[in-house]
């Protein structure tokens, strides 16, 4: 018999899921929201939300921030920086110095 960790929750859309933290994010809804392409599609959900919550949904907007500023966002970790740097470089952009 499997041991389930966390509390059973139900999101606004009716998805049932278990969470052990206070995080209100439904994993099913989050998977449905994940873009199929673009630079946001290569990021983890917390990193993607960190950018979206700060109004960064385009590479042009991302290029107006420094790497240090991006790392300050809750949910953004250093493992995401190479992916972001690569996406910027592929489009002739870079982080602000």
For the stretch 7-47, pLDDT in tens is: 899 989 998 988 888 877 888 887 878 888 899 999 998 99
Q: What percent of the chain has pLDDT over 70?
A: 96
Write out the H or E segment, with its range, that includes residue 9.
strand 7-10
- Domains annotated for the chain, with CATH where assigned, are 8-35 (no CATH), 38-97 (1.10.150.20)
d(CA 90, CA 97) in angstroms, rounded, equals: 18
Q: Taking a C-beta distance cutoff of 8 angstroms, is the pair 93, 60 a contact?
A: yes
Supply the pLDDT for residue 60.
98
**What's the pTM value of the predicted model, to 2 decimals?**
0.75
Task: For tokens 């110095």, name the residue.
Answer: 97
Q: Does 5 score more than 80 pLDDT?
A: no
Please, is 83 exposed, middle or buried when counting C-beta atoms within 10 Å of its C-beta (0-12, 13-18, 19+)? middle
């Amino acid at each position: 018999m499997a041991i389930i960790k966390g509390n059973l929750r139900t999101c606004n859309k009716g998805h049932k899921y278990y969470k052990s933290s206070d995080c209100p994010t439904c994993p099913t809804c989050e998977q449905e929201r994940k873009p199929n392409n673009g630079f946001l599609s290569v990021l983890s959900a917390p990193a993607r939300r960190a950018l979206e919550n700060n109004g960064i949904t385009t590479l042009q907007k991302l290029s107006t921030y420094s790497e240090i500023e991006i790392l300050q966002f809750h949910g953004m970790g250093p493992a995401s920086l190479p992916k972001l740097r690569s996406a910027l470089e592929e489009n002739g952009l870079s982080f602000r110095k």
